Amino acid sequence: MILEKIPLGPALSITLTDQTRHYFGGYYHVKLLASCDIPLDKNYFDNVEDFFTAVGKMGTTVRFEKVLEKMAVPKTEIASIRNQLTKAFHETAVAYLSSPDFAPGFVRSEYQKCIKKAPHIQRARA
């Protein structure tokens, strides 16, 4: 269930989704997922070749995700814990994610991770 959409600027917004599940007995795993799909932009890369390589490997967007959670929450405290997690996210993460440097930096970081994960081709020895 979508709890909230948090605008980060003219083109980006964070979607805060409630993924709370029953844990055991009368206890729950309160879990919120903050996510944002960030479009790849040529200006985020040093050159057009890197941009096209990134699009080829990652697609046209890259997803930012942050999990906010607390385990073993009694059913009567779910709403309170959800509100605490949401408030903490607004206080700590929204300003950082709203920074003009966040999207380019995150996209470049994910691109570097993708490049490092690329399997190395080994040449057959004769």
CA–CA gap between residue 82 and residue 88 (Å, rounded)? 10
- Tokens describing residue 115: 């490049």
List the pLDDT tens digit at each of the 126 positions of the chain. Answer: 999 999 988 889 999 999 999 989 999 999 999 999 999 999 999 999 999 999 999 999 999 999 999 999 999 999 999 999 999 999 999 888 999 999 999 999 999 998 887 665 444 444
CA–CA gap between residue 81 and residue 14 (Å, rounded)? 20
Q: What is the pLDDT of residue 82?
A: 97
For 42, how many CA atoms within 13 A lie in the half-sphere containing its CB?
Answer: 4
User: pTM for the full model?
Assistant: 0.84
